[in-house]
Chain A
Amino acid sequence: MSVGFLLIHARPQRAWATILSWFLFAGGIAAYLWVAQARHRENPEDRVTPTIAQMATGMYNAVMQPAEEDEAAPPAAGFYDRLSHSMLWKDTRATSRRFLLSLALLFPAVLLGLHMGLFPYVGAFFLRFVLFFDKIVALSLLPILFIAFGIDELSKVMLIVIGVTPTIILDSFNLTRGVPPEQIVKAFTLGAGDFDVAYRVVLKQVAPRVLNSIRLNLKAVMLFLFAGEMIASTDGLAYRIALVRRHMGMDVIIPYVLWVALLLFLVDLGMRTINRRLHPWFHEA
Protein backbone atom coordinates (compact mmCIF):
# COMPACT_ATOMS: atom_id res chain seq x y z
CA MET A 1 0.00 0.00 0.00
CA SER A 2 1.65 3.20 -1.08
CA VAL A 3 0.26 6.68 -1.24
CA GLY A 4 1.56 9.12 -3.82
CA PHE A 5 4.06 11.31 -1.97
CA LEU A 6 2.66 14.60 -3.21
CA LEU A 7 -0.95 13.80 -2.42
CA ILE A 8 -3.18 14.84 0.46
CA HIS A 9 -2.93 11.54 2.29
CA ALA A 10 0.86 11.49 2.28
CA ARG A 11 2.35 11.47 5.80
CA PRO A 12 5.98 12.65 5.65
CA GLN A 13 8.27 11.54 8.47
CA ARG A 14 9.44 14.20 10.90
CA ALA A 15 13.00 14.15 9.60
CA TRP A 16 11.85 14.59 6.03
CA ALA A 17 9.50 17.39 6.98
CA THR A 18 12.35 19.19 8.74
CA ILE A 19 14.74 18.77 5.84
CA LEU A 20 12.10 20.01 3.41
CA SER A 21 11.33 23.04 5.54
CA TRP A 22 14.99 24.19 5.40
CA PHE A 23 15.39 23.40 1.73
CA LEU A 24 14.43 26.84 0.38
CA PHE A 25 16.76 28.55 2.84
CA ALA A 26 19.69 26.41 1.74
CA GLY A 27 18.75 26.87 -1.92
CA GLY A 28 18.47 30.65 -1.54
CA ILE A 29 21.85 30.97 0.17
CA ALA A 30 23.52 28.67 -2.34
CA ALA A 31 22.07 30.61 -5.28
CA TYR A 32 23.26 33.89 -3.76
CA LEU A 33 26.78 32.57 -3.19
CA TRP A 34 26.94 31.24 -6.73
CA VAL A 35 25.81 34.55 -8.24
CA ALA A 36 28.15 36.53 -5.98
CA GLN A 37 31.11 34.39 -6.92
CA ALA A 38 30.36 34.64 -10.62
CA ARG A 39 30.00 38.43 -10.47
CA HIS A 40 33.19 38.82 -8.46
CA ARG A 41 35.10 36.70 -11.00
CA GLU A 42 34.00 39.07 -13.72
CA ASN A 43 34.49 42.27 -11.72
CA PRO A 44 36.39 42.10 -8.41
CA GLU A 45 35.02 45.58 -7.54
CA ASP A 46 31.36 44.44 -7.74
CA ARG A 47 29.21 46.17 -5.11
CA VAL A 48 25.80 44.64 -5.88
CA THR A 49 26.41 41.17 -4.44
CA PRO A 50 28.98 41.38 -1.62
CA THR A 51 30.58 38.14 -0.57
CA ILE A 52 29.98 36.65 2.87
CA ALA A 53 33.36 37.96 3.99
CA GLN A 54 32.51 41.49 2.87
CA MET A 55 29.15 41.36 4.64
CA ALA A 56 30.84 40.07 7.80
CA THR A 57 33.31 42.98 7.69
CA GLY A 58 30.49 45.43 7.06
CA MET A 59 28.51 44.03 9.97
CA TYR A 60 31.58 43.91 12.24
CA ASN A 61 32.14 47.60 11.53
CA ALA A 62 28.48 48.33 12.18
CA VAL A 63 28.63 46.55 15.52
CA MET A 64 32.05 47.88 16.62
CA GLN A 65 32.45 51.30 14.99
CA PRO A 66 30.40 54.43 15.56
CA ALA A 67 28.33 55.80 12.70
CA GLU A 68 29.97 58.07 10.13
CA GLU A 69 28.25 61.14 11.53
CA ASP A 70 29.51 60.44 15.07
CA GLU A 71 32.96 60.89 16.55
CA ALA A 72 35.33 57.94 16.23
CA ALA A 73 35.73 55.87 19.38
CA PRO A 74 38.98 56.36 21.30
CA PRO A 75 41.37 53.53 20.51
CA ALA A 76 41.51 52.50 24.17
CA ALA A 77 37.74 51.93 24.44
CA GLY A 78 36.65 48.53 25.75
CA PHE A 79 34.31 46.04 24.04
CA TYR A 80 31.08 47.14 25.70
CA ASP A 81 32.01 50.78 25.31
CA ARG A 82 32.49 50.27 21.58
CA LEU A 83 29.28 48.22 21.35
CA SER A 84 27.17 50.85 23.08
CA HIS A 85 28.51 53.61 20.81
CA SER A 86 28.27 51.54 17.64
CA MET A 87 26.22 52.38 14.58
CA LEU A 88 24.00 49.28 14.84
CA TRP A 89 23.19 49.89 18.50
CA LYS A 90 22.40 53.55 17.87
CA ASP A 91 20.10 52.73 14.96
CA THR A 92 18.41 49.82 16.70
CA ARG A 93 17.77 51.92 19.80
CA ALA A 94 16.25 54.77 17.82
CA THR A 95 13.97 52.47 15.82
CA SER A 96 12.95 50.42 18.87
CA ARG A 97 12.00 53.54 20.77
CA ARG A 98 9.64 54.68 18.03
CA PHE A 99 8.33 51.13 17.66
CA LEU A 100 7.57 50.68 21.36
CA LEU A 101 6.03 54.13 21.61
CA SER A 102 3.69 53.23 18.76
CA LEU A 103 2.79 49.90 20.38
CA ALA A 104 1.97 51.72 23.61
CA LEU A 105 -0.33 54.04 21.66
CA LEU A 106 -2.23 51.02 20.32
CA PHE A 107 -3.47 50.25 23.84
CA PRO A 108 -6.01 53.12 23.95
CA ALA A 109 -7.14 51.98 20.50
CA VAL A 110 -8.06 48.57 21.93
CA LEU A 111 -10.02 50.22 24.75
CA LEU A 112 -11.84 52.47 22.29
CA GLY A 113 -12.81 49.45 20.18
CA LEU A 114 -14.06 47.66 23.29
CA HIS A 115 -16.23 50.59 24.34
CA MET A 116 -17.56 51.05 20.82
CA GLY A 117 -18.58 47.41 20.75
CA LEU A 118 -20.28 47.44 24.14
CA PHE A 119 -21.80 50.88 24.60
CA PRO A 120 -24.23 51.74 21.79
CA TYR A 121 -23.79 55.51 22.16
CA VAL A 122 -19.99 55.28 21.95
CA GLY A 123 -20.35 53.05 18.91
CA ALA A 124 -22.78 55.45 17.25
CA PHE A 125 -20.40 58.34 17.91
CA PHE A 126 -17.17 56.80 16.60
CA LEU A 127 -17.92 53.93 14.22
CA ARG A 128 -18.62 55.81 11.00
CA PHE A 129 -15.66 58.10 11.49
CA VAL A 130 -13.25 55.25 12.20
CA LEU A 131 -14.53 53.34 9.16
CA PHE A 132 -13.84 56.43 7.04
CA PHE A 133 -10.45 56.98 8.64
CA ASP A 134 -9.52 53.36 8.00
CA LYS A 135 -9.87 53.90 4.26
CA ILE A 136 -7.40 56.81 4.13
CA VAL A 137 -4.08 55.67 2.71
CA ALA A 138 -1.82 56.63 5.60
CA LEU A 139 1.27 57.11 3.43
CA SER A 140 -0.56 59.72 1.39
CA LEU A 141 -0.82 61.74 4.60
CA LEU A 142 2.94 61.73 5.08
CA PRO A 143 3.56 65.13 3.42
CA ILE A 144 0.69 66.64 5.43
CA LEU A 145 2.15 65.23 8.64
CA PHE A 146 5.60 66.63 7.85
CA ILE A 147 4.08 70.02 7.14
CA ALA A 148 1.87 69.97 10.23
CA PHE A 149 4.13 68.31 12.81
CA GLY A 150 7.57 69.03 11.35
CA ILE A 151 10.05 66.31 10.52
CA ASP A 152 10.81 65.26 14.08
CA GLU A 153 9.67 62.24 16.09
CA LEU A 154 6.04 63.26 16.42
CA SER A 155 5.24 63.03 12.72
CA LYS A 156 6.75 59.54 12.45
CA VAL A 157 4.82 58.24 15.44
CA MET A 158 1.66 59.94 14.15
CA LEU A 159 2.10 58.16 10.82
CA ILE A 160 2.14 54.79 12.56
CA VAL A 161 -0.79 55.71 14.77
CA ILE A 162 -2.86 56.92 11.82
CA GLY A 163 -1.91 53.92 9.73
CA VAL A 164 -2.50 51.16 12.27
CA THR A 165 -4.96 52.37 14.95
CA PRO A 166 -8.10 52.25 12.78
CA THR A 167 -7.43 48.60 12.03
CA ILE A 168 -6.86 47.81 15.70
CA ILE A 169 -9.96 49.77 16.75
CA LEU A 170 -12.15 47.99 14.21
CA ASP A 171 -10.64 44.61 15.08
CA SER A 172 -11.29 44.99 18.79
CA PHE A 173 -14.74 46.36 17.98
CA ASN A 174 -15.57 43.27 15.93
CA LEU A 175 -14.08 40.90 18.51
CA THR A 176 -16.15 42.61 21.21
CA ARG A 177 -19.30 42.25 19.13
CA GLY A 178 -18.42 38.59 18.68
CA VAL A 179 -18.73 37.85 22.41
CA PRO A 180 -22.00 35.87 22.84
CA PRO A 181 -24.76 38.07 24.32
CA GLU A 182 -25.44 35.27 26.83
CA GLN A 183 -22.13 36.09 28.50
CA ILE A 184 -23.07 39.71 29.03
CA VAL A 185 -26.58 38.91 30.29
CA LYS A 186 -25.13 36.26 32.58
CA ALA A 187 -22.62 38.72 34.05
CA PHE A 188 -25.42 41.20 34.80
CA THR A 189 -27.53 38.53 36.50
CA LEU A 190 -24.53 37.74 38.69
CA GLY A 191 -24.47 41.32 39.89
CA ALA A 192 -21.83 42.86 37.64
CA GLY A 193 -22.06 46.53 36.69
CA ASP A 194 -21.44 47.94 33.21
CA PHE A 195 -17.72 48.46 33.74
CA ASP A 196 -17.30 45.08 35.40
CA VAL A 197 -18.81 43.59 32.26
CA ALA A 198 -16.51 45.65 30.06
CA TYR A 199 -13.21 44.99 31.85
CA ARG A 200 -13.70 41.80 33.84
CA VAL A 201 -15.77 39.80 31.38
CA VAL A 202 -15.46 41.06 27.81
CA LEU A 203 -11.95 42.55 27.77
CA LYS A 204 -10.49 39.44 29.41
CA GLN A 205 -12.19 37.24 26.84
CA VAL A 206 -11.10 39.17 23.78
CA ALA A 207 -7.58 39.95 25.08
CA PRO A 208 -5.81 36.96 23.48
CA ARG A 209 -7.48 37.60 20.13
CA VAL A 210 -6.67 41.30 20.32
CA LEU A 211 -3.03 40.44 21.03
CA ASN A 212 -3.01 38.18 17.99
CA SER A 213 -4.47 40.95 15.91
CA ILE A 214 -1.72 43.30 17.11
CA ARG A 215 0.83 40.62 16.21
CA LEU A 216 -0.57 40.49 12.69
CA ASN A 217 -0.29 44.26 12.47
CA LEU A 218 3.34 44.41 13.60
CA LYS A 219 4.38 44.36 9.97
CA ALA A 220 2.19 47.35 9.21
CA VAL A 221 3.71 49.19 12.18
CA MET A 222 7.19 48.47 10.84
CA LEU A 223 6.18 49.46 7.32
CA PHE A 224 5.01 52.90 8.38
CA LEU A 225 7.95 53.31 10.71
CA PHE A 226 10.41 52.54 7.90
CA ALA A 227 8.63 54.84 5.47
CA GLY A 228 8.89 57.68 7.98
CA GLU A 229 12.52 56.97 8.82
CA MET A 230 13.62 56.66 5.20
CA ILE A 231 12.13 60.00 4.24
CA ALA A 232 12.89 62.15 7.25
CA SER A 233 15.19 61.03 10.02
CA THR A 234 18.72 61.33 11.32
CA ASP A 235 18.99 57.89 12.87
CA GLY A 236 17.22 54.51 12.87
CA LEU A 237 17.63 51.29 10.94
CA ALA A 238 15.68 52.43 7.89
CA TYR A 239 17.53 55.76 7.82
CA ARG A 240 20.82 53.83 7.67
CA ILE A 241 19.58 51.57 4.89
CA ALA A 242 18.46 54.58 2.87
CA LEU A 243 21.74 56.41 3.58
CA VAL A 244 24.03 53.52 2.73
CA ARG A 245 22.08 52.95 -0.50
CA ARG A 246 23.60 56.16 -1.89
CA HIS A 247 26.98 54.51 -2.21
CA MET A 248 25.53 51.05 -2.90
CA GLY A 249 26.63 49.68 0.48
CA MET A 250 25.03 46.30 0.01
CA ASP A 251 27.47 44.84 2.54
CA VAL A 252 25.58 46.80 5.20
CA ILE A 253 22.08 46.75 3.67
CA ILE A 254 21.73 42.96 3.49
CA PRO A 255 22.78 42.30 7.12
CA TYR A 256 20.54 45.18 8.24
CA VAL A 257 17.53 43.70 6.43
CA LEU A 258 18.17 40.33 8.07
CA TRP A 259 18.65 42.00 11.47
CA VAL A 260 15.30 43.79 11.17
CA ALA A 261 13.62 40.53 10.20
CA LEU A 262 15.21 38.80 13.19
CA LEU A 263 14.11 41.57 15.57
CA LEU A 264 10.55 41.47 14.30
CA PHE A 265 10.52 37.69 14.57
CA LEU A 266 11.70 37.91 18.19
CA VAL A 267 9.06 40.52 19.08
CA ASP A 268 6.39 38.30 17.53
CA LEU A 269 7.70 35.22 19.34
CA GLY A 270 7.78 37.15 22.61
CA MET A 271 4.19 38.30 22.19
CA ARG A 272 3.07 34.80 21.30
CA THR A 273 4.76 33.39 24.41
CA ILE A 274 3.30 36.09 26.65
CA ASN A 275 -0.12 35.45 25.13
CA ARG A 276 0.12 31.75 25.87
CA ARG A 277 1.31 32.33 29.42
CA LEU A 278 -1.34 34.94 30.22
CA HIS A 279 -4.22 33.04 28.65
CA PRO A 280 -3.76 29.31 29.22
CA TRP A 281 -7.45 28.78 28.49
CA PHE A 282 -7.17 30.12 24.97
CA HIS A 283 -6.69 27.73 22.07
CA GLU A 284 -5.92 29.22 18.72
CA ALA A 285 -8.46 28.06 16.18
Chain B
Amino acid sequence: MLIHIEDVFVAYGSPPRAVLAGINLEIQEGEFVCVLGQTGCGKSTLLRLILGSEHPMRGRILVDGREHRQPDRTRGYVPQKYSLFPDKTVLDNITFGCEVSEFGLFGHLTPTFYRRRRQLRAEAFEYLHRIGLRECDAKKYPDQLSGGMQQRVAIAQALMTKPRILLMDEAFSALDPGTRRGMQQLVRDLWKATGTTILFVTHNTDEALRLGTRVIVLARESADQGSRIAMDLSVPAPCGDAEIPSLVRRLEVVSESCAL
Protein backbone atom coordinates (compact mmCIF):
# COMPACT_ATOMS: atom_id res chain seq x y z
CA MET B 1 0.00 0.00 0.00
CA LEU B 2 1.60 3.25 -1.11
CA ILE B 3 -0.86 5.79 0.28
CA HIS B 4 -3.10 5.05 3.24
CA ILE B 5 -5.57 7.73 4.34
CA GLU B 6 -7.49 7.00 7.50
CA ASP B 7 -10.55 8.93 8.68
CA VAL B 8 -9.13 12.32 7.81
CA PHE B 9 -10.92 15.50 8.88
CA VAL B 10 -9.94 19.05 7.86
CA ALA B 11 -11.66 22.36 8.63
CA TYR B 12 -10.72 25.92 7.71
CA GLY B 13 -11.52 29.37 9.04
CA SER B 14 -13.16 30.62 12.20
CA PRO B 15 -15.71 29.42 13.05
CA PRO B 16 -14.23 26.28 11.49
CA ARG B 17 -16.03 25.01 8.43
CA ALA B 18 -15.41 21.41 7.49
CA VAL B 19 -13.75 20.82 4.14
CA LEU B 20 -12.99 17.13 4.30
CA ALA B 21 -14.74 14.76 6.68
CA GLY B 22 -14.18 11.07 7.16
CA ILE B 23 -11.98 10.43 4.15
CA ASN B 24 -10.68 6.88 3.87
CA LEU B 25 -8.59 6.01 0.86
CA GLU B 26 -6.03 3.44 -0.16
CA ILE B 27 -3.87 3.85 -3.23
CA GLN B 28 -1.73 1.04 -4.62
CA GLU B 29 1.65 1.40 -6.23
CA GLY B 30 1.35 2.12 -9.96
CA GLU B 31 -2.23 3.43 -9.93
CA PHE B 32 -3.27 6.53 -11.84
CA VAL B 33 -5.87 8.14 -9.60
CA CYS B 34 -7.90 11.15 -10.70
CA VAL B 35 -9.59 13.18 -7.97
CA LEU B 36 -12.67 14.90 -9.31
CA GLY B 37 -14.95 17.44 -7.72
CA GLN B 38 -16.42 20.89 -7.94
CA THR B 39 -14.63 24.09 -6.94
CA GLY B 40 -14.14 24.30 -3.18
CA CYS B 41 -14.85 20.64 -2.45
CA GLY B 42 -11.39 20.07 -0.98
CA LYS B 43 -9.65 18.15 -3.75
CA SER B 44 -6.57 20.41 -3.62
CA THR B 45 -6.63 20.13 0.18
CA LEU B 46 -6.48 16.36 -0.16
CA LEU B 47 -3.47 16.73 -2.44
CA ARG B 48 -1.71 19.11 -0.05
CA LEU B 49 -2.32 16.63 2.79
CA ILE B 50 -0.54 13.89 0.85
CA LEU B 51 2.16 16.39 -0.07
CA GLY B 52 2.66 17.17 3.61
CA SER B 53 2.36 20.93 3.25
CA GLU B 54 -0.86 20.76 5.30
CA HIS B 55 -1.84 18.51 8.16
CA PRO B 56 -5.20 16.94 9.03
CA MET B 57 -7.01 17.96 12.21
CA ARG B 58 -7.97 14.34 12.79
CA GLY B 59 -6.95 11.07 11.21
CA ARG B 60 -3.65 10.20 9.61
CA ILE B 61 -2.00 9.90 6.25
CA LEU B 62 0.66 7.31 5.62
CA VAL B 63 2.80 7.45 2.53
CA ASP B 64 4.94 4.35 2.17
CA GLY B 65 4.02 3.48 5.76
CA ARG B 66 5.26 6.76 7.23
CA GLU B 67 3.65 10.05 8.23
CA HIS B 68 5.39 13.01 6.56
CA ARG B 69 5.59 16.40 8.25
CA GLN B 70 6.72 18.34 5.18
CA PRO B 71 7.08 17.91 1.41
CA ASP B 72 10.09 15.86 0.33
CA ARG B 73 11.61 13.90 -2.53
CA THR B 74 9.27 10.91 -2.36
CA ARG B 75 6.35 12.96 -3.65
CA GLY B 76 6.77 14.98 -6.83
CA TYR B 77 4.55 17.99 -7.45
CA VAL B 78 3.23 19.77 -10.54
CA PRO B 79 1.01 22.76 -9.67
CA GLN B 80 -1.24 24.65 -12.07
CA LYS B 81 0.87 27.83 -12.05
CA TYR B 82 4.37 28.89 -10.99
CA SER B 83 5.60 25.37 -11.57
CA LEU B 84 9.03 26.36 -12.90
CA PHE B 85 11.76 28.50 -11.34
CA PRO B 86 11.76 31.70 -13.44
CA ASP B 87 15.45 32.42 -12.84
CA LYS B 88 16.69 29.11 -14.26
CA THR B 89 16.86 27.91 -17.84
CA VAL B 90 14.79 24.92 -18.95
CA LEU B 91 17.82 22.64 -18.59
CA ASP B 92 18.73 23.97 -15.14
CA ASN B 93 15.12 23.62 -14.06
CA ILE B 94 15.13 19.94 -15.02
CA THR B 95 18.47 19.16 -13.36
CA PHE B 96 17.80 21.32 -10.27
CA GLY B 97 16.27 18.50 -8.23
CA CYS B 98 19.22 16.13 -8.63
CA GLU B 99 21.82 18.87 -8.18
CA VAL B 100 20.24 20.20 -5.02
CA SER B 101 19.73 16.84 -3.38
CA GLU B 102 23.22 15.53 -4.19
CA PHE B 103 25.26 18.69 -3.54
CA GLY B 104 25.04 21.17 -0.68
CA LEU B 105 25.06 24.94 -0.87
CA PHE B 106 28.73 25.10 -1.79
CA GLY B 107 28.73 21.85 -3.76
CA HIS B 108 29.45 23.57 -7.04
CA LEU B 109 32.90 24.45 -5.74
CA THR B 110 33.96 20.79 -6.02
CA PRO B 111 35.14 19.25 -9.30
CA THR B 112 32.84 16.23 -8.91
CA PHE B 113 29.91 18.59 -9.24
CA TYR B 114 30.79 19.43 -12.83
CA ARG B 115 31.33 15.81 -13.77
CA ARG B 116 27.97 14.86 -12.27
CA ARG B 117 26.30 17.84 -13.91
CA ARG B 118 27.40 16.64 -17.35
CA GLN B 119 25.69 13.29 -16.68
CA LEU B 120 22.58 15.01 -15.37
CA ARG B 121 22.42 17.28 -18.40
CA ALA B 122 22.62 14.30 -20.74
CA GLU B 123 19.75 12.70 -18.83
CA ALA B 124 17.80 15.97 -18.90
CA PHE B 125 18.16 16.11 -22.69
CA GLU B 126 16.59 12.64 -22.87
CA TYR B 127 13.60 13.88 -20.88
CA LEU B 128 13.50 16.98 -23.07
CA HIS B 129 13.07 14.81 -26.17
CA ARG B 130 10.53 12.64 -24.43
CA ILE B 131 8.30 15.60 -23.57
CA GLY B 132 8.59 16.88 -27.14
CA LEU B 133 10.86 19.90 -26.77
CA ARG B 134 13.75 20.72 -29.08
CA GLU B 135 17.42 21.05 -28.11
CA CYS B 136 17.33 24.80 -28.67
CA ASP B 137 14.62 25.15 -26.01
CA ALA B 138 17.07 24.01 -23.33
CA LYS B 139 18.67 27.43 -22.97
CA LYS B 140 15.38 29.33 -22.80
CA TYR B 141 13.89 30.80 -19.64
CA PRO B 142 10.39 29.65 -18.62
CA ASP B 143 8.65 32.88 -19.62
CA GLN B 144 9.91 32.41 -23.18
CA LEU B 145 7.83 29.19 -23.41
CA SER B 146 4.10 28.79 -23.92
CA GLY B 147 1.95 27.58 -21.01
CA GLY B 148 1.79 24.04 -22.39
CA MET B 149 5.56 23.85 -22.87
CA GLN B 150 6.10 25.12 -19.33
CA GLN B 151 3.91 22.34 -17.92
CA ARG B 152 5.79 19.77 -20.03
CA VAL B 153 9.07 20.97 -18.54
CA ALA B 154 7.52 20.93 -15.06
CA ILE B 155 6.58 17.27 -15.50
CA ALA B 156 10.10 16.43 -16.69
CA GLN B 157 11.52 18.36 -13.73
CA ALA B 158 9.38 16.38 -11.29
CA LEU B 159 10.15 13.02 -12.92
CA MET B 160 13.92 13.65 -12.96
CA THR B 161 14.21 12.91 -9.24
CA LYS B 162 12.19 9.68 -9.71
CA PRO B 163 9.53 10.26 -7.02
CA ARG B 164 7.36 7.35 -5.82
CA ILE B 165 4.24 9.44 -6.37
CA LEU B 166 3.58 12.33 -8.72
CA LEU B 167 0.95 14.78 -7.44
CA MET B 168 -0.59 17.01 -10.10
CA ASP B 169 -2.87 19.85 -9.02
CA GLU B 170 -5.07 21.05 -11.90
CA ALA B 171 -1.87 20.83 -13.92
CA PHE B 172 -3.59 21.40 -17.28
CA SER B 173 -6.45 23.67 -16.23
CA ALA B 174 -4.80 26.84 -17.57
CA LEU B 175 -4.19 25.33 -21.02
CA ASP B 176 -6.39 25.54 -24.10
CA PRO B 177 -8.28 22.36 -25.13
CA GLY B 178 -5.97 21.42 -28.03
CA THR B 179 -2.80 21.63 -25.95
CA ARG B 180 -4.57 19.85 -23.15
CA ARG B 181 -5.31 16.77 -25.22
CA GLY B 182 -1.63 16.47 -26.16
CA MET B 183 -0.58 16.84 -22.53
CA GLN B 184 -3.02 14.12 -21.43
CA GLN B 185 -1.51 11.76 -23.97
CA LEU B 186 1.99 12.66 -22.76
CA VAL B 187 1.19 12.02 -19.11
CA ARG B 188 -0.51 8.76 -19.92
CA ASP B 189 2.53 7.64 -21.95
CA LEU B 190 4.99 8.70 -19.24
CA TRP B 191 2.93 6.89 -16.63
CA LYS B 192 3.05 3.69 -18.70
CA ALA B 193 6.79 4.04 -19.32
CA THR B 194 7.89 4.91 -15.78
CA GLY B 195 5.28 3.13 -13.68
CA THR B 196 5.08 6.10 -11.31
CA THR B 197 1.98 6.35 -9.18
CA ILE B 198 0.08 9.47 -10.17
CA LEU B 199 -2.57 11.42 -8.27
CA PHE B 200 -4.19 13.92 -10.57
CA VAL B 201 -6.60 16.57 -9.26
CA THR B 202 -9.01 18.10 -11.77
CA HIS B 203 -12.49 19.58 -12.06
CA ASN B 204 -12.83 18.33 -15.62
CA THR B 205 -14.75 15.04 -15.78
CA ASP B 206 -13.72 14.27 -19.34
CA GLU B 207 -10.05 14.70 -18.45
CA ALA B 208 -10.36 12.47 -15.40
CA LEU B 209 -11.90 9.64 -17.44
CA ARG B 210 -9.30 9.87 -20.20
CA LEU B 211 -6.36 9.84 -17.80
CA GLY B 212 -7.02 7.72 -14.78
CA THR B 213 -7.26 4.03 -14.01
CA ARG B 214 -9.38 5.10 -11.09
CA VAL B 215 -11.62 8.14 -10.64
CA ILE B 216 -12.56 9.39 -7.19
CA VAL B 217 -15.38 11.93 -6.84
CA LEU B 218 -15.33 14.22 -3.80
CA ALA B 219 -18.61 15.90 -2.88
CA ARG B 220 -20.46 17.41 0.08
CA GLU B 221 -23.71 15.86 1.23
CA SER B 222 -24.91 19.18 2.61
CA ALA B 223 -23.52 22.70 2.76
CA ASP B 224 -22.29 22.50 6.38
CA GLN B 225 -20.70 19.07 6.09
CA GLY B 226 -17.24 18.30 4.77
CA SER B 227 -16.72 16.45 1.51
CA ARG B 228 -16.55 12.70 1.42
CA ILE B 229 -15.72 10.25 -1.29
CA ALA B 230 -19.01 10.09 -3.17
CA MET B 231 -17.86 7.63 -5.79
CA ASP B 232 -14.85 5.45 -6.46
CA LEU B 233 -14.85 4.30 -10.06
CA SER B 234 -12.34 1.91 -11.51
CA VAL B 235 -11.42 2.51 -15.16
CA PRO B 236 -9.29 -0.51 -16.06
CA ALA B 237 -8.82 0.42 -19.73
CA PRO B 238 -8.72 3.96 -21.08
CA CYS B 239 -12.22 5.05 -22.04
CA GLY B 240 -13.10 5.15 -25.72
CA ASP B 241 -14.70 8.26 -27.14
CA ALA B 242 -18.05 6.46 -27.32
CA GLU B 243 -18.37 5.68 -23.60
CA ILE B 244 -17.21 9.01 -22.31
CA PRO B 245 -20.40 11.11 -22.67
CA SER B 246 -22.51 8.69 -20.64
CA LEU B 247 -19.86 8.28 -17.93
CA VAL B 248 -19.39 12.05 -17.74
CA ARG B 249 -23.12 12.44 -17.15
CA ARG B 250 -23.11 9.74 -14.47
CA LEU B 251 -20.19 11.31 -12.59
CA GLU B 252 -21.54 14.83 -12.85
CA VAL B 253 -24.85 13.74 -11.40
CA VAL B 254 -23.01 12.35 -8.38
CA SER B 255 -20.84 15.41 -7.96
CA GLU B 256 -23.68 17.92 -8.38
CA SER B 257 -26.47 16.20 -6.47
CA CYS B 258 -24.31 16.23 -3.35
CA ALA B 259 -23.26 19.84 -3.61
CA LEU B 260 -26.72 21.21 -2.81
Contact = CB atoms under 8 A, between A and B. Distances in A.
Interface in B83-133: 83, 85-88, 96-98, 100-101, 104-105
B66 interface: no
8 contacts: A186-B79, A190-B100, A191-B98, A192-B101, A193-B100, A195-B105, A199-B105, A200-B100
A172 to B, nearest CB: 16
B143 A283 contact: yes
B157 A180 contact: no
B100 to A, nearest CB: 5
A188 B72 contact: yes
Most buried by A among B100, B101, B142: B100
B76 interface: yes
The prevalent SS among residues of B at the interface is loop
B32 interface: no
A280 B86 CA distance: 10
Contacts of B87: 204-205, 207, 279, 281-282
B101 A205 contact: no
B161 to A, nearest CB: 6
10 closest residue pairs by CB, A with B = A191-B101, A190-B97, A188-B71, A180-B82, A281-B141, A191-B73, A182-B79, A189-B77, A182-B82, A192-B100
A201 interface: yes
B34 to A, nearest CB: 20
Nearest to B144: A281
B143 A189 contact: no
A231 to B, nearest CB: 43
Nearest to B103: A196
Contact of A196 (B83, B105, B158): B105
A185 interface: yes
A189 B82 contact: no
Given A182-B83, A186-B77, A190-B101, 11 more contacts: A180-B81, A183-B82, A185-B53, A189-B73, A190-B76, A190-B96, A191-B101, A191-B161, A196-B104, A205-B85, A282-B87
Interface of A: 180-183, 185-193, 195-196, 199-201, 204-205, 207, 279-283
B85 A189 contact: no
Nearest to A281: B141
Contacts of B97: 190-192
A86 B157 CA distance: 59
A283 B70 CA distance: 33
Contacts of A189: 51, 71-73, 75-77, 158, 161, 163
Contacts of A195: 105
A199 B107 CA distance: 13
A183 B71 contact: no
A264 to B, nearest CB: 29
